[in-house]
Amino acid sequence: MENIKVLWTRNGQRHVSVVSYDRPSAARRVSELEADPAVSDVETVSVRPGETVEVAQKPQGRTVQRKYTAGSQK
């Protein structure tokens, strides 16, 4: 199964999904977000199990980099 994170901007603030989606679920979430007029810049990113996506932001809310880090395993 492919693991996908969804990223979007709402009111100038960049967000990353907490959960990882499979492809059909990610497509459904993207559709939901794109229907919201306050949301822009919706995108998906494939991740490996246990990885998280960190989005650095400028004050204007624009994405300047993506950093992929492995989550801790307990």
> pLDDT tens digits for 25-71?
999 999 999 999 999 999 999 998 888 787 766 555 544 344 455 55
In a domain, 73, yes or no: no
In a domain, 26, yes or no: yes
Provide the number of structural domains found in the chain. Answer: 1
Q: Would you state the pLDDT for residue 59?
A: 54
Helix (H) or strand (E) holding 62: none
**DSSP state for residue 36 in the 8-state scheme:** S
Domain coverage including residue 33? 3-67
Q: Which two tokens stand for residue 71?
A: 């989550």
In a domain, 13, yes or no: yes
In a domain, 72, yes or no: no
| pTM of the predicted protein model | 0.73
In a domain, 53, yes or no: yes
